[in-house]
Amino acid sequence: VLKRIPARIRGPTGPARAGGLALLSMNESPYPPLPSVGRAITDAVADLHRYPDDEGMSLREELASRYGRPVEQVALGAGSSELCLQAALATVNPGSGVVFASPSFPLYSLITQLLSGEPRIVSLREDRLDLEAMLAAVSPGTRLVYVCNPNNPTGTSVEPEALAAFLRAVPEDCLVVLDEAYREFAGPGFPDGLGLLDEHPNLLVLRTFSKAYGLAGLRLGYGVAAPEVIEGLRRTHLPYSVSRPALEAGAASLRAEGELTERVDAVIAERERLAKGLTALGYDPTPSDANFLWVRTPGSASLERNLLDHGVAIRSFADEAIRISVGAPEENALLLEVLGSGVQSPR
């Protein structure tokens, strides 16, 4: 298996302030935890000599009541990444087909390779998921489809009608993971995955506390699905993977929803300012429903290096596009300033 897996290439991570770097490459929140969430985390420290509640019952109950569903329909994971893996552990045998788009969240490909599944990779069409082509890639041996909505790295979303038609057409013995990691940043008209659950017992909706809730470093995500799907996640779950500080921070974040929504609104406003600034410099950012912007620009690999030399980390894809995470206003301003100073002209 390891021969198939490419070595990890790690870009800069960690506290940006420490390195004086504007870290716009990880799709994180630019905001530190809210004081109330920080307090919940420090209070949980006193019990760290004990294992956490492996059922995560109290947070699952809060999420369940928030969405008007029984607790048997909610699972927690150490980030939605763990739930992406568990969904595959529960469904994929060696040789099983796994459908996902490219470019999309790279974890889908890694998981498929780790489990010796058969990747069926579907190209985007005009930076969007091509659900018709993804459906065509589903064959009788396909056990799993990852639908990333909004899509990382392009920030585009699928239309509600297209998603509904896709779900109606996928066979029921194939699990569809609808990864909504960035949904909070999407505009009106974004399809609500949870609203589709009752019609589709093979649908698993994943959400995360890492992005809009700003808890990427704590590792907490959740999935909502029919009880049978959640049971599959429970059986494939690594015991105690979700820590007590994460459970407490999740609950505190739900209580602080109003303040977090203000932060999301600020990120959206900043995203639009950044898009305008990029357009003024001659770039053509793709309209985004996420906390990042996708900008096609050939020669993006050298642009990534040049920007890093000037203290700004972004991500280049295949030397043809960059993805810029929306940072704090001063970080976004620094990016625009460096780009405007002619570090490399747009192509």
Ligand X SMILES: Cc1ncc(COP(=O)(O)O)c(C=O)c1O
Residues that bind ligand X (CB under 6 A): 27, 79-81, 105, 148, 152, 179, 181, 208, 210, 216, 221
Residue with smaller CB distance to ligand X, 180 or 248 = 180
Residue with smaller CB distance to ligand X, 52 or 79 = 79
Residue with smaller CB distance to ligand X, 81 or 316 = 81
Q: Quick one: which of 167, 263, 173 has its CA closest to 215?
A: 263
Largest Cα separation within the chain, whole Å, is 56
Minimum distance from CB of 82 to ligand X (Å)?
Answer: 7
Minimum distance from CB of 173 to ligand X (Å)?
Answer: 24
Q: What is the DSSP annotation of 140-187?
A: TTEEEEEEESSPTTT-----HHHHHHHHHHS-TTSEEEEE-TTGGG--
Q: How far is CA 51 from CA 56, 99, 242, 321, in A?
A: 11, 36, 10, 44
Minimum distance from CB of 116 to ligand X (Å)?
Answer: 22
Residue with smaller CB distance to ligand X, 52 or 155 = 155
Minimum distance from CB of 183 to ligand X (Å)?
Answer: 10
How far apart, in whole angstroms, are the C-alpha atoms of residue 93 and residue 115? 7
Residue with smaller CB distance to ligand X, 107 or 275 = 107
Q: What is the DSSP annotation of 74-128?
A: EEEESHHHHHHHHHHHHHPPTT-EEEEEESS-THHHHHHHHTT-EEEEEE-BTTB
Residue with smaller CB distance to ligand X, 209 or 277 = 209
Q: What is the DSSP annotation of 239-281?
A: TT-S-HHHHHHHHHHHHTHHHHHHHHHHHHHHHHHHHHHHHHT
Minimum distance from CB of 260 to ligand X (Å)?
Answer: 15
Task: Compute the residue count for the chain.
Answer: 347
Minimum distance from CB of 286 to ligand X (Å)?
Answer: 16
Which residue number has the CB closest to ligand X? 79
Q: What is the DSSP annotation of 209-244?
A: SSSTT--TTT--EEEEE-HHHHHHHHHTPPTT-S-H
Residue with smaller CB distance to ligand X, 213 or 283 = 213
Residue with smaller CB distance to ligand X, 120 or 323 = 323
What are residue 296's DSSP bridge partners? 321
Minimum distance from CB of 327 to ligand X (Å)?
Answer: 15
Minimum distance from CB of 104 to ligand X (Å)?
Answer: 7
